[in-house]
A and B are shown apart, each in its own frame.
Chain A
Amino acid sequence: MTSEKDPNTIAAQLCQFARTNFVVEGTNFDENSPLAHAGIDSFALVELLLYCERVIGVRVPDSHLTGNNLTSMATLANCIAELARNNHSST
């Protein structure tokens, strides 16, 4: 699997996944919304990370699950793009 490396594309994919699975219809939610206010609890976070593995092809190690990286979809996408550039693939 070829890993996606563009943070904007990754952020859009993550937002779409969150809208489909966690966020209530009609809620204002974009790549800069704080994750904690958008229904992203620990359970949802794991679902999101497994989605990254499955679809984007990047495994995010626990050491990267820091407050800074988990501020918003944009910050998480930056972290994933960085890992993709460093060949941190899920396979």
Chain B
Amino acid sequence: MHGQDSRMRRAGLPGNVCCAVIRLGTGLDMERLRRRIATSPILDWVARARIIRPFPLLPPLWRTTAIPRTVLYEHNNQNVSVDASWSLPPVVAARELHAARGPGLAFDVVRHADGTSHLFLSWNHTLLDARGLDLLLNHLNADGATNGAPAIQDLISPKQLGWDLSGWWPNVKRARGSVEWLHESGDEPLFSLVPPGPRPRLCRNHYRVVSFTEPETVRIDARCQQLVGGFRRSHFYLAATVRALHAVAVQRGNQDGAYLIPVPHDTRRRGANGPIFSNHLSILFYRIEPRLAGRLGDILGELSRQMTNQIRDRFPESCMAALDMFKPLPLGYYVHHLGKPTRGKIATFSFSDSGETCAGMKELWGARILDVTHLVPAWRPPGLTVVFLRFGNRLSALLSSVDDCLSTAEVDGLERDVRAALLEEGIS
């Protein structure tokens, strides 16, 4: 994650920094938020934490500085351009969140003249994942939680706090299956959105948010229940996305390559309030052949079969072991193993289903939560990241793309086809 952040910045992209855009109603109690941030031992740690790698062949570690850095920024009566094109206010977009310098997280509260607010919660992915952010918000929103707040060592993986290389060699053995699979996955051609030739000196990230109303979300759930028994929502969303991307491939006249999609899986137990920090994700890899990518039913069948086989073969555990194995090694080894088998393509696109965001929360510091969107930057390669999430009873999908990989017309087509596949009864 840390190395990926540097690679993205070199390409002109905003680093591996995500932003939760939370629209709040009236009544935000800023004093309560300031107090919670000032008194929370967890936020105190965040404000001091930075990641370091003191020696090339040792894992990166979290270390804290003596003086906490600012994490809360307040802006009044700004004309915030949070519109259909999802361009962040310049002050938020320009905020540098380097995990190596710290802090890796910032709250920008923009208060509007009508009493409503926007909270832009930006975080470096090296620090935490989307589920960790939800847990952090829950902690900060709960009054009186400071006294009983969990200790830092309960919130962050012990392996991130100190060096323990005793498990490295066993990890190499466990990692073998997933590394071999990755190497074999590149034997057959893959479809890539990245154009051939050298990368432009600077790339730009575009965000498109596809929002569904409550009645539309009810229809999608009913269709999901009908197609996959309601328990494989992520598969339904992923199948709709693959089908839509296949239409792009057909338009480009490139129907020979398979679609390779890494899908993260949160390894925390449901209902657990930690760990908040670090990433607790394993990965399943799906490979969909183009001959199956035109029909939802075929894609869903393939996803189900591949998921079962991978869990049966203990692939997610092997993948976790591989990620831990690569951590102490120089970034070049990781890039080599990830990129070489696919000749630099790495994947067709990144996909995740964040599930319910701000789960169980109706208000933050006295203001009702009206809407939540996560802006997740796209990596290049592959040039497209798709994130589904739900807030309340509404589903939304983020199409985050790099400008030289997908044209605006192609993003329009993706949006149209994803909506149709999720909503229209006639599409199978």
Query: Which positions in A face B, CB cutoff 8 Å?
Result: 22-24, 27, 35-36, 38-43, 45-47, 49-50, 62, 65-67, 70
Contacts and interface: CB of A to CB of B under 8 A. Distances in A.
Contacts of A46: 307-308, 311
Contacts of B230: 36, 67, 70
A42 B284 CA distance: 12
Q: Of residues B230, B231, B232, which shows the largest number of chain A Cβ atoms within 10 Å of its Cβ?
A: B231
Given A43-B311, A66-B229, A24 B304 contact: no
A52 B308 CA distance: 13
A22 B270 contact: yes
Interface in B187-225: 225
A10 B308 CA distance: 21
Contacts of B235: 42
Contacts of B271: 23-24, 27, 39
B307 A67 contact: no
7 contacts: A24-B271, A43-B284, A43-B311, A47-B311, A49-B308, A67-B230, A70-B230
A5 B338 CA distance: 46
Interface residues of B, number: 21
A19 B311 CA distance: 19
B308 A42 contact: no
A38 B271 CA distance: 8
B269 A24 contact: yes
Contact of A67 (B225, B265, B284, B311): B225
Interface string B216-246: 0000000001000111111100000000000
Contacts of A36: 230-231
B91 interface: no
B274 to A, nearest CB: 10
Given A23-B269, A23-B270, A24-B269, A50 B232 contact: no
B232 to A, nearest CB: 4
Contacts of B231: 35-36, 40-42, 45, 65, 70
A72 B231 CA distance: 12
A43 B231 CA distance: 9
A24 B269 CA distance: 6
Given A66-B229, A67-B229, A50 B270 contact: no
Contacts of A42: 231-235, 307
Given A23-B271, A24-B269, A67-B225, 18 more contacts: A22-B269, A23-B270, A24-B270, A27-B271, A36-B231, A39-B269, A41-B231, A42-B231, A43-B265, A43-B284, A43-B311, A43-B316, A45-B231, A46-B311, A47-B311, A49-B308, A50-B311, A65-B229
Contacts of A49: 308
B34 interface: no
B229 A24 contact: no
A45 B229 CA distance: 12
A34 to B, nearest CB: 12
A70 B233 CA distance: 14
B272 interface: yes
